[in-house]
A and B are shown apart, each in its own frame.
Chain A
Amino acid sequence: MTFLKKHHSTLVFLMPYVLMFSLFIIIPVAIAIGLSFSYFNAIEPPSFNGLENYVNVLTQDNVFMRNVLPNTLIFALVVGPGGYILSFILAWMLAQIPRLPRIVFALVLYSPSMTAGIAMAVVWRIIFSGDQTGYLNALLINLGVIYEPLQFLQSPNYLMTIMIVVTLWGSMGVGFLAMLSGVLNINSEIYEAGYIDGIKNRFQEIIYITIPSMRPQMLFGAVMAIVTTFQAGAIGVQLSGANPTPQNAGQLMVNHIEDYGFIRYEMGYAAAISVLLLLFIYLFSKLAWRLFGDND
């Protein structure tokens, strides 16, 4: 009783958030873990089947092993660190030009991330369209590089590359803004001290002064980069207009989950892949924490 009296306002402040957080984040994750150990087709109640789903992922699911897993890893390893390093370089350069052009540049660089893929799917589909009115095809034909239009979005040879370019294009998001303000807020005295201590070039300056001074923002940016990378999974389906993507060339874990969960109704199996996906993200983030965390 005294607890309630003393803390009632704290409870009121926290309750709505904690309630929604539990209901739509904690509980779904818990359900996913539970379902991943069961057979569930959305009609009959789920029945426990132990590790069968996980065993099947590893031993039976050819598409997963041959396409989805390698695709996801390639996509994540290029887009994650690629987008992150690009964000940092852009933020670092932007910090060193005057305020007005900086604001304009930052706005242009940030605006693709606002579109979150949906609105832009239209534009990209026109640019990469498979007939000669597609912009890239028309350009390449004019330049004499190709003679026949290429089916960019339906071809397993190009789909992944295009997905990566499009996702990188939209990856200067919150993390980029955080890093920009991180660079801008480093105390100039730290630089002066560094020069006295014998910093010899820009590279040393970045490694020994800039990055260590903005580690918290670097970590925040890294976590955001990882999340946006795995979140961007829908892009292949949006671009090619089909799930599964042509010859599974652009199939990522997110699409595989949707394919099994909402197309084949094998929800237990889909849940097992969800759990693996969350685990992946967690491991990648742990790595970021290692690099930039405050634990040393």
Chain B
Amino acid sequence: MASSFHGSKINPDRFDRSQIKFFLFLIPMMVFMGLPIVYIFSHAFKPIDELFAYPPRFFVEKPTLANFVDLFNMSDTTGVPMSRYLFNSIIVTVVVVALTIVMSTAAAYALSKKKFKLKALLFEINTVALMFVPIAVAIPRYLLIDNIGLLDSFWAHILPLLAMPVGLFLVKQFIDQIPDSLIESARMDGASDYIIYWKIILPLVKPAIATIAILSFQAVWNNVETSTLFVNDESLKTFAFFMSTLASQTGNSVAGQGMAAAASLLMFIPNLIIFIILQSQVMNTMAHSGIK
């Protein structure tokens, strides 16, 4: 039946002329999406005369590290050095990512493989909470954090970000794919729940762990809200916050623009590196991401 329609070849092995039409759409899209990213790299290395050249040039011609040097030597108006913000961000990020992984995988294991009464309800509530938008309840969160005495502490950066409904959701869907028989036979051999979680579940859900690591990393590393709302002490604020003040105060001043560009590059690079390392694991997790 040579005449019958034969459409998509999904996941083709090699290039074929029939794919040209896709490339014709994808390449301009990629350029549009990628240009600002390329620009951020280029801009961060521009010396001051190129930053304000007219007409503006997209690519850097005489790259320099001056912007980064300025940035590292800079303190804000209250005398807190930039390195302090960076240090705070790193601590907060490491703690949040680690705790999020432990909490989500543990809860996902229980929700997926244990049998108890409220199981279905809990997962249902979590699925509804996928739609939760933290920014909508900034005020109640502020009152709550104030009342339990966490204002002006690292905990104010950490605790609000730990429960990540989409993280629990993805890990739970992933654990669902692990056959019950595997867990049963371990139990026959006398393994406790904790051993099963540690020795069987965790190694098998590595791709899902990579995925929540990325999601929680992005949530915490880019977070400005906790610094603006819950922390008054400048020396406890994060790099993302520092970055946002650079952007708003000095965005148009001469020296500020170069530093702001350097800082955005520093903000962006860790995101990119982590995603490149973990991308194949992420795709593996996403195959099980559907809401059924």
Encode B273-285 as 1/0 by CB contact (under 8 A) with A: 0011001001110
Pairwise interchain contact A119-B291, C-beta atoms closer than 8 A:
no
Among candidates A119, A258, A294, residue contacting B292 with C-beta atoms closer than 8 Å: A294
Tell which of B26, B34, B58, B194 touches A94, judged by Cβ atoms closer than 8 Å.
B26
Query: Is B283 a contact partner of A177 (Cβ separation < 8 A)?
Result: yes
B106 contact set on A, CB distance < 8 A: 12-14, 16-17
Smallest CB gap from A17: residue in B = B107
Q: How far is the CB of A30 from chain B (nearest CB, A)?
A: 8
Who on chain B is nearest to A86 by CB? Answer: B29
Which of B70-78, B85-93, B128-136, B178-186 has 4 or more CB atoms under 8 Å from chain A?
B128-136
| Cα(A122)–Cα(B256), bound, Å | 11
Indicate if the CB atoms of A17 and B116 lie closer than 8 Å.
Answer: no
Identify which of B25, B54, B163, B292 contacts A24 (C-beta below 8 A).
B163
> Does chain B have a CB within 8 A of A254?
yes
CA distance A202 to B54 in the complex (A): 48
Task: Return chain B residues, CB-CB under 8 Å to A210.
Answer: 8
Looking at A52-60, A64-72, A130-138, A155-163, the stretch in contact with chain B turns out to be A130-138
**Chain A interface, DSSP helix/strand/loop, else mixed:** helix
Residues from chain A with Cβ under 8 Å of B140 in the complex: 27-32, 35, 271
Q: Is A79 an interface residue (CB 8 A)?
A: no
List residues of A (124-180) whose CB comes within 8 Å of B's CBs: 124-127, 129, 132-135, 138, 142, 169, 172, 174, 177-178, 180
The reply to whether the CB of A233 lies closer than 8 angstroms to some CB of chain B is yes
The listed residue (B13, B138, B291) touching A261 by CB distance below 8 A is B138
Write out the residue numbers on chain A whose beta carbons fall within 8 Å of the beta carbon of B289: 174, 178, 181-182, 216-217, 220
**For the complex, what is the distance from the CA of A7 to the CA of B106, rounded to whole Å?**
14
Identity of the chain A residue whose Cβ is nearest the Cβ of B143 in the assembled complex: A31
Q: Which of B56, B111, B272 contacts A135 (CB 8 A)?
A: B56
Main secondary structure, interface of B, reads: helix
Contact of B129 among A25, A118, A277 (CB under 8 A): A25
Determine the distance from Cα of A294 to Cα of B139 in the docked complex, in whole angstroms. 36
B137 CB contact (under 8 Å) in A28, A107, A116: A28
CB distance from A110 to the nearest CB of B (A): 7
Return the CB mask of B224-255 against A: 1 if under 8 Å, else 0. Answer: 10000100000000001001101110011000
Contact between B243 and A119, CB atoms less than 8 A apart = yes
The answer to whether A114 and B268 have CB atoms under 8 Å apart is yes
What chain A residues lie within 8 Å of B159 (beta carbons)?
20, 23-24
* Complex CA–CA separation, A172 to B37 (angstroms): 14
B264 contacts which of A119, A169, A215 (Cβ < 8 Å)? Answer: A119
Q: Which residues of B contact A21 (CB under 8 A)?
A: 126, 129, 163, 165
Residues of B within 8 A of A129 (CB): 252
Question: A107, B276: Cβ atoms under 8 Å?
Answer: yes
B222 in contact with A115 (CB, 8 Å): yes
Taken together as a complex, chains A and B put the C-alpha atoms of A250 and B26 apart, in Å, by 30
Q: How far is the CA of A125 from the CA of B249 in the complex (A)?
A: 12
- Do B11 and A99 touch across chains, with their CB atoms under 8 A apart? yes
Contacts of A43 in B (CB 8 A): none
In the complex formed, the residue of B with least CB distance to A294 is: B292
B53 cross-chain contacts in A, Cβ below 8 A: 133
Residues B7 and A205 in contact, CB atoms below 8 Å apart: yes
Given contacts A20-B163, A96-B9, contact A108 B33 (CB under 8 A): yes
Given A24-B160, A241-B251, decide whether A181 and B287 contact each other with a Cβ distance below 8 A: yes
Hey, which chain A residues are within 8 Å of B23, CB to CB? 97, 101
Q: Is the CB of A281 within 8 A of B290?
A: no
CB-based contact A277/B133 at 8 Å = yes
Query: How many angstroms between the C-alpha atoms of A107 and B243 in the bound complex?
Result: 24
Residues on A with beta carbons closer than 8 Å to the beta carbon of B104: 17
Instruction: Give the shortest distance, in Å, between A27 (CB) and chain B (any CB).
Output: 6
Q: Contact between B30 and A105 (Cβ–Cβ < 8 Å)?
A: yes
Judge whether B61 is part of the interface by a CB distance below 8 angstroms. Answer: no
Say whether A231 faces chain B, with CB atoms less than 8 Å apart: yes
Closest 9 CB pairs of A and B: A216-B290, A17-B107, A31-B140, A9-B193, A28-B140, A28-B137, A13-B110, A20-B163, A181-B286
CB pairs A–B below 8 angstroms (11 shown): A9-B194, A10-B116, A93-B22, A119-B264, A123-B43, A133-B52, A178-B289, A199-B7, A210-B8, A231-B135, A261-B138
